[in-house]
Amino acid sequence: MTNTDLRRSDVAAIIDHTLLKPEATRADAEATVAEAARLGVFAVCLSPSMLPIDTGEQRTCVVAGFPSGKHHSLVKAAEARLAVDSGAHEVDMVIDVGAAVDGRFDEVFADVLTVREAVGDSTLLKVIIESAALLQLAGPDTVTEVCRRAEQAGAGMVKTSTGFHPAGGASVEAVRLMRAAVGDRVGVKASGGIRTAEFAAELIAAGATRLGLSSSAAVLDGFPA
């Protein structure tokens, strides 16, 4: 699929416009919300400390256990529940990547389930697996199994990356693996290092149903109106 097969509005409708830099200020968050409204994207993804914030017509998304995933499951759950109580519609949680690398998939399942139960059924839970790190350290079978366990635990989406791991962000290979693992039952969010329309189109063709972007305007400018 090329970017000419997609329209700007189609892509905007699946973008989480993202600001997760540690140095981000309240003014930066407000500017991100304003840009999201101007671009017509689906959601705004922010750090939970930015809540409460009015994102207007865009959904409010926050992260939990970010970016390492090394928080205790109960801490992730409490962080996620507080975010929902403060107005978040969606939560992107990070798994314990080391547990996945070790093959401790029951722990990954329990981690996701703990957060799922904390946020309730009305909140979309996306599970960040750090696919680049898993592919590098453990291989494709681990990516597949982690996605399956996340789905079993109640994830509404599986997500490639935080964008902060040195192993890298989204890849076409990872998205294809993740889509194959979950079929059409849950969504796949690609995030991390997506800066061009061409790459975005490749990820969508591979099976991504949501994109996490900080360069939303630049990506959207590459698609026809």
Provide the b/e sequence for 25-58 (b: ≥16 CB within 10 Å): eeeebeebbeebeebbbbbbbbbbebbebebeeb
Q: Which CATH number fits domain 3-221: 3.40.50.300, 3.20.20.70, 3.20.20.140, 1.50.40.10?
A: 3.20.20.70
Instruction: Using a cut of 0.85, tell me whether the model's pTM lies above it.
Output: yes
Radius of gyration of the chain, Cα coordinates, nearest whole angstrom:
16
Reported as type and span, the H/E element at residue 29 is helix 26-39
Q: Per-residue confidence of the chain (225 residues) as pLDDT tens digits? A: 455 589 999 999 999 999 999 999 999 999 999 999 999 999 999 999 999 999 999 999 999 999 999 999 999 999 999 999 999 999 999 999 999 999 999 999 999 999 999 999 999 999 999 999 999 999 999 999 999 999 999 999 999 999 999 999 999 999 999 999 999 999 999 999 999 999 999 999 999 999 999 999 999 999 999
- What digits encode the pLDDT tens for the residues 71-91? 999 999 999 999 999 999 999
Residue 44 in tokens:
């705004």
Q: What is the pLDDT of residue 1?
A: 45
d(CA 200, CA 194): 6
Domain ranges of the chain: 3-221
Q: What is the pLDDT of residue 21?
A: 97
Amino acid (one-letter) located at 134: L
d(CA 4, CA 147): 31
The single residue listed with the structure tokens 């026809």 is: 224
Residue 127: which of 143, 138, 141 has the closest Cα? Answer: 143
SS3 label, residue 222: coil
CB neighbours of residue 219 within 10 Å: 25
d(CA 8, CA 30): 23
User: Of 76, 96, 126, 159, which residue is the catalytic one?
Assistant: 159
User: Of 92, 96, 111, 126, which residue is the catalytic one?
Assistant: 92
d(CA 28, CA 34): 10
Percentage of the chain beyond pLDDT 90 is: 98
The upper half-sphere exposure of residue 81, i.e. CA atoms within 13 Å in the direction of its Cβ, equals 12
Q: What is the pLDDT of residue 4?
A: 56
Reported as type and span, the H/E element at residue 15 is strand 15-19
Active site residue 126: no
Active site residue 189: yes
Q: What is the pLDDT of residue 5?
A: 84
Active site residue 21: no
